[in-house]
Structure 1
Amino acid sequence: MSATSDNMQNPVDQFEQPPYENQEKVPVPGTEADLTPKADHGETSYKGSGKLTGRKAVITGGDSGIGRAVAIAFAREGADVLISYLNEHEDAKETAKYVEEAGRKAVLVPGDISSEEHCKSIINTAVQELGGLDILVNNAAYQMSHDSLQELTAEELDRTFRTNIYAMFYLCQAAEPHLKPGSTVINTSSVNAYKPSPILLAYAATKGAIQNFTASLGQLWAEKGIRVNCVAPGPIWTPLIPSTMPEEKVKEFGQSVPLKRAGQPVELSAVYVLLASQDSSFMTSSTVQVTGGTPTI
C-alpha cells in the first residue's frame, strides 16, 4: 500500500522559493502592497480548532508579516486581538478584517512602541477594549543593514534597541498586573541571536538580548504561572526585507538555508499558537527555532 494517496497533497510541494528578481527597494518600514511576490499569512489555509477560545491577545507589529499571520491564526483559534503597529494603516485594517471575519474582535492601536507611555497605552487599551489580557506577543522590530560600523549612527542604534528590546520591557512591565496564571508571553527573536549577520549588527545584538530577556523573565514569572517563551525565525518573507536590505541580498533571500528557500509567515503560525495555548503548559524560558534548517548550536 502506498504511503500517500492520490488525493493527498505532498507537503514538500506546498511552498517553493519564488523569484524575487522583480522586488524593488521600498521605504522603511514597508507594506504588504510593496511585496513582489505576495506573502502567505494563512489567509486561505489556516484552520482553527478552538485552542484559544475566549482569550485576549496583544500583538505588536500585527499589521503585516509574522504579526499578521499570528493575528489570523489567533482569531481563528478563538481569540480577540489588539493589533499594535507603527503607521501602516492599510495593512492594519486588512489584518483586522481577517480577525473580524473569524468572528473575533479586532482593536487597532497605531503608534511608536519605543515610547514607554505608548506601551502603557497599548496594554491599558487592551484591558479596556478586550476586557482583559491573556497573551502578549512582542513581535515588532526595527532593522537596517550596513556594510560598515561607521555607517551605524548613535541615533539608529538607540532606535533599534528602543524598538526591539526596550519596548519588550515596557510592555511586559505594564502587562504584569493584568496577567493571570495561565497567561503567556511570546517574544520574537531570530536566528541572528545564534548566527549574527555582520550587516545587521545592531538588530542581531537586540535579538541576542531578547533570548536572554525571555529566559530570565520566564524564570522570574514561573511562580506566578505566567509562561514566557520565544520564537527564533530564520529568513521569512515580510515587508521588512525589501525595505531594509540591499537589493542584491533580497534577490537571493532564503537560498542559503538547507531548505533552499525563505519561509512564509504562515509557517510560523502554529508555533505561536502552541506557545499561546495550554499545549505548551510545561514550556517556559524556551526558544522554538524555525530556521529552515540552519543549525543554531
Structure 2
Amino acid sequence: MSPLRMAVTAAPFDRDLEADFARIADLIGKARAEGVGLLALPEAALGGYLANLDGGADGPPPLRQDGPEIARLAELAGDMVVVAGYCEDAGGHYYNSAVCVTGDGVLGNHRKVHQPLSEDSTYRAGDRFAAFDTPVGRLGMLICYDKAFPESARALALDGAEIVVCVSAWPGSRTNAAPDLAEDRWKRRFDLFDRARALENQIVWLSANQSGTFGDLRFVASAKIVDPGGDVVADTGVAEGMAIADLDVPHLLATARRSMGHLRDRRPEAYGPLRTG
C-alpha cells in the first residue's frame, strides 16, 4: 500500500458562512493540488467558535447534519476525506460537532463530550466515542478539550481507529499570556496532549486548530501530524497554514506495536472498576 498523503490546517473562521466556505474551498483546492487524501479543518470551521468562554456568548449558526451546508462541504470534498467542525442542530438541541465527509456524503459524526468552562451554556455534551471506516482507513474524531482525557483517544484506539483527527479552537492562556505565542503555556499543553495521545495509543494523530483571533480568544494554531511514536512529522507553528505528510499508516502502526504494544499489553483486570464520581 502506498503512503497516505494527509494534511492539517491552522486557519481562522468566523460567523460569515459564505466567507468560511470560500476559505474551505481554497484549502481543499490547495490540498487537492498537493495530492492530499485526508484533510483536517479546525473545530467550528463552519460558523466560527464562541467569542469567549465566560458564558452568554452568541454561538455559531446551527446546522443540520443532513442539511445543505454539510452537503455543500461533501461536494467540495469530492474524492478527498475531509473533517471539519460545526454547530450541529439535532432536533433543536445544539452540539459542538465534527463531521467527516467525502463526495459520497457523511462518513462519521462526533459530538464533543468534554466541555471547558462555560461551553455548556451553548452546547449539549456528546456521550460516546466511536471509530468508523473510510476510504483512507479506520478513523476516530475528537474535539479540542476531549484530548485532555486519555480515555477519549483510548476508546477510539480500542475501537480500531488507526488515525485520530482532533479538531480544535484551542486558545492561548487567558492569564499571564506570553507575548510570544510560541512560548504560551496553553500552546505547550496543546502540543503535549497531541504527542502523548499518539504515543500512548500508538496511532497516527492529526491535530487541526483555529488561528488568529475571534472575540476575546487568541488561538495557538500549531496544527500538526504526529506519528505513532509521538514524533511530530509536520507542523504549522503558531501561524496560519497547512502541514502535509506522507505516512504509510499500516506499516507505522505495525512497527510501533511490534515489540511494545500499548493496546495489546494492557491489563484491564488489574485496573479495577473505574470510579464514576
The answer to whether the superposition gives a TM-score over 0.5 is no
* TM-score (ref. length: structure 2): 0.38
* TM-score (ref. length: structure 1): 0.36
Name whichever structure is richer in strand by fraction: 2
